[in-house]
């Protein structure tokens, strides 16, 4: 799905605030054209990365006293899995599915920021150009969450498929939920584990499987006309999300910006079909305290030059660029997080002014 973002600014999910209204204020004020709903991991155990998306999965267990989540795969799971697949087909079947993914909804107990965001948008009159949602990716979820024997649930193929499909339903549920408030919804799949792809830790995780799982997520997002994005906060094989059909590839450009130029053929194809690169140029660390708009725009221009030197059309790079923080801000001091979003909006505006976007 082609679009021309022209330095559109948005954010990555987490924020360090406990008050959802404060978090929504920051999102709407700093990123008015593409605000995002804030994940609030400091607010409650339910809002931690995997637990937040665990509602509705069969045989999932959250042990609150131990602050952990796992899947109980012991005994006969057939009825639980069959029930899940019946629900999935009823909603997601391309021929006769209803598209109603409310069985995998994210409640206010697990995402106070999402529901506060929706309430605020519903009272704000005209739709925004874009609004952004996000879901933990299937690789990061299934390689982090374990079974009752503390083995990553990824290696249980039955449950891995359930996780991919369940998270895809959560993406689609969010798209439908937020569609009334935007001319177009953007839905990101957050995959921090991709930065470890190819390492000895995940030697048995195969590229074709990763691409297929991410493609399934992208197709679910596309089903209702939204744009599919992916965020990885480290270096990875950037051709993977491109081959999976993601419209937006978001990366930590502050620390790893040069790595995108290592995949010139894939990036050329991505940009050529209308895909975007979301440059995470604003650092989400204490380094943000030393940054200025001038420093960050100069750094971004240098990265554009680096990618152009790999044989890509610089005008196309500029036209298809978005601006984001390098990662979520959930681990920062609140004042640093606010600075991150202030700079993100300001860098976007400075680049738009320069290039007439």
- The total of structural domains in the chain comes to 1
Report pLDDT digits (tens) over 104-115: 999 999 999 999
Q: What is the pLDDT of residues 187-199, one digit of tens each?
A: 999 999 999 887 7
Q: Is residue 182 part of a domain?
A: yes
Q: What is the CATH number of the domain that holds 196?
A: 3.20.20.210
Mean pLDDT of the region 165-175: 98
* Residue 281, domain member (yes or no): yes
The number of helices, as runs of H, and strands, as runs of E, in the chain is 12, 10
Asked whether residue 3 is domain-assigned, the answer is: no
64 belongs to a structural domain = no
What is the overall mean pLDDT for the chain?
A: 96
For residue 77, being part of any structural domain is answered with: no
DSSP states of 204-257: T--HHHHHHHHHHHHHHHHTTTPEEEEEESS---THHHHHTT-SEEEE-HHHHG
pLDDT in tens, 42-74: 999 999 999 999 999 999 999 999 999 999 999
**CB-based contacts of 271: which residues, under 8 Å, 6+ apart?**
277, 312, 313, 316, 317, 320
Q: Could you say which DSSP state residue 16 is in?
A: S
For 290, other C-beta atoms within 10 Å of its C-beta total 8
- Residue 1: is its pLDDT beyond 70? no
* pTM of the predicted protein model: 0.97
131 belongs to a structural domain: yes
Full domain range(s) for residue 278: 8-45+106-144+160-355
Residue 150 lies in a domain: no
Q: What is the mean pLDDT of residues 295-299?
A: 98
Alpha helices in 64-206 (DSSP H): 78-92, 112-122, 138-144, 157-178
Does residue 15 form part of some domain?
yes
């Amino acid at each position: 799905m082609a679009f021309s973002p022209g330095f559109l600014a948005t954010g990555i999910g987490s924020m360090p605030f406990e008050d959802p209204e404060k978090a929504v204020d920051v999102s709407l004020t700093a990123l008015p054209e593409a605000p995002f709903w804030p994940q609030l991991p400091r607010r409650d155990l339910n809002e931690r990365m995997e637990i937040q998306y665990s509602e509705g999965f069969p045989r999932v267990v959250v042990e609150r006293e131990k602050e952990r989540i796992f899947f109980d795969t012991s005994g006969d799971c057939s009825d639980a899995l069959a029930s899940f697949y019946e629900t999935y087909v009823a909603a997601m079947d391309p021929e006769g599915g209803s598209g109603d993914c409310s069985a995998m909804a994210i409640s206010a107990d697990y995402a106070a920021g999402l529901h506060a965001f929706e309430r605020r948008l519903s009272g704000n009159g005209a739709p925004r150009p874009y609004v952004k949602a996000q879901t933990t990716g299937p690789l990061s979820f299934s390689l982090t969450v374990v079974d009752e024997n503390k083995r990553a649930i990824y290696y249980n193929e039955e449950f891995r498929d359930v996780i991919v499909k369940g998270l895809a339903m959560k993406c689609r549920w969010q798209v439908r939920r937020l569609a009334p408030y935007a001319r177009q919804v953007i839905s990101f799949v957050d995959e921090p584990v991709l930065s470890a792809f190819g390492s000895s830790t995940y030697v048995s995780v195969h590229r074709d499987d990763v691409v297929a799982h991410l493609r399934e997520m992208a197709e679910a997002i596309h089903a209702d006309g939204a744009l599919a994005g992916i965020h990885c906060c480290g270096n990875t094989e950037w051709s993977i999300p491109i081959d999976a059909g993601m419209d937006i590839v978001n990366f930590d450009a502050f620390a790893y910006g040069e790595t995108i130029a290592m995949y010139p053929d894939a990036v050329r194809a991505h940009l050529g079909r209308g895909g975007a690169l979301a440059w995470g140029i604003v650092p989400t660390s204490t380094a943000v305290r030393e940054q200025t708009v001038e420093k960050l725009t100069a750094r971004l221009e240098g990265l554009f030059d680096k990618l152009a030197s790999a044989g890509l059309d610089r005008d196309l790079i500029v036209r298809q660029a978005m601006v984001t923080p390098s990662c979520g801000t959930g681990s920062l001091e609140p004042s640093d997080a606010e600075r991150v979003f202030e700079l993100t909006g300001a860098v976007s505006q400075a680049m738009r002014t320069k290039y007439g976007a």
